[in-house]
Amino acid sequence: MSETIDKYVNMYRVTADDWDTWSDVASHFNISRDFASVRKIGAEGFRGRSWPDLDMLPLGWLTDPGVRQGPHRKCYLTLDEQKTQMTLWSMAKSPLMFGGDLRNLDGTTLSLISNPILLEINSYSSNNSEFPHVYTIKKHLRKKNHIFFKFKEKMYQQKPEKKFLDLTSCNNEKAKCWNATLQTGNPDQICWDLKMRRSDKFSYCLLKRNVLFSSDKDVIYDQEHREIFRLVASQRGDNCLDASPGRKRIASDIQDIRLTSCKWHTSQMWSLNDDGTLVNSYSNMCAKVNSNKVSTTSGGIKSWIATGRKGEIYLAFFNLNPTATHITAKVSDLQDFMGSSFFRQGSCNCTQVWSGKNMQPPKTTISAFVNSHGCALFVLNC
């Protein structure tokens, strides 16, 4: 979608509503990584540049989602989680919009949202991207001879694959994988298979139910003479595939298309194009099957990197684990990723932003012990 709108706007939302839960914060890591990887951060926009928007910062004095007036309450995020959110938003250069009540702003929240280094990163940094070459080291003590053992922990923890439907632009090549199949004695099926050109096996199927006029039982066709139909999960199913927005979702929700009670509404009307796209009459967008292989809230570690306008390097560690974790990056990996011209080994001054400590010039590694759901942010001047 961003490929069709980013040139005409300065900012555009890329997630659902973000609220003050850790699952909402954690859900933004993958989406921000994906937009950075295709260089959408600061891409050409309307009379300037455009920016993917990760939504407001739900900090300080808040109400519950959907409540226009009180009662008010404090932000549910821990201070470490608030620092993580503010740091990720700054490193991803998302527009920073405060979502709390400015009439009741505490000093901690004010210092967080006005941190000069984060605002510098958000406004003037470049080459912002996820830095994948970080690892953890866990130490285990063997009682007999007190020998320590070290091992690396994987950055991502894979979860069982789950499939869900969502909407995308009909120009998306990945949406062109639907096909109609005939079933003897059964209603026709509309099936999805990402590898349909190389395999006869379909991975996801729905049954087609024709939309009929009550008077003459004629099948309905659209203006382009495509047959319009509903889609159900089973022959006796009373629930139809529905592309209506429904309730307002939050960022940690899976943005799927749901089966709801069948009704006479264009949100449940579908047609199949010759190019393999399944288009919805209500939204004029197309259905696509996604696989939810990686859970961003299950744990693991992340890292982002960027360069400053004065040549400094910003490096952030994020701990998504439920326990404190020791996170490390090798200087050699930083050199390979950023280019050796950015680093003069052993001559970089390093400051840890959140602790305020000046560190020894890193020679081989940069490390930090990061609290659960917390982050560490380094500024390197080489």
CATH number at residue 17: 3.20.20.70
Same domain (yes/no): 147, 200? no
Q: What is the count of structural domains for the chain?
A: 3
Same domain (yes/no): 252, 228? yes
From the list 327, 347, 360, 309, the residue with the least C-alpha distance to 128 is 309
Q: Taking the model in full, what pTM does it have? A: 0.68
Same domain (yes/no): 150, 211? no
Q: Which of 265, 291, 317 is the last residue of a domain?
A: 291
Same domain (yes/no): 134, 210? no
pLDDT at 114: 98
CA dist., res. 129 & res. 333, Å (int): 14
Same domain (yes/no): 30, 86? yes
pLDDT at 214: 46
In terms of Cβ atoms closer than 10 Å to its own Cβ (0-12, 13-18, 19+), residue 315 is buried
**Residue 244 Cα distances to 247, 250, 288, 380, angstroms:** 9, 16, 15, 48
Neighbour count for residue 133 (Cβ, 10 Å):
15
Please name the residues in contact with 87: beta carbons below 8 A apart, sequence gap of 6 or more: 118, 316, 318, 375, 377
Same domain (yes/no): 69, 91? yes
Same domain (yes/no): 8, 84? yes
CB-CB contact of 95 with 14 (8 Å):
no
Same domain (yes/no): 284, 305? no
Same domain (yes/no): 221, 309? no
Q: Which of 266, 291, 316 is the last residue of a domain?
A: 291
Domain span at 105:
2-126
Residue whose structure tokens are 């395999």 = 199
Q: 6 phi and psi, to 5 degrees?
A: -65, -25
Which CATH number do you get for residue 319? 2.60.40.1180
Which CATH number do you get for residue 207? 2.80.10.50
Extract the residue ranges of the chain whose pLDDT is less than 70. 1-4, 138-164, 182-187, 194-203, 212-226, 235-237, 245-257, 291-298, 340-346
Please name the residues in contact with 80: beta carbons below 8 A apart, sequence gap of 6 or more: 371, 372, 373, 374, 375
Q: Which of 291, 312, 334 is the last residue of a domain?
A: 291
Same domain (yes/no): 99, 53? yes
Same domain (yes/no): 84, 137? no
pLDDT at 242: 83
CB-CB contact of 343 with 335 (8 Å):
yes
Same domain (yes/no): 79, 119? yes
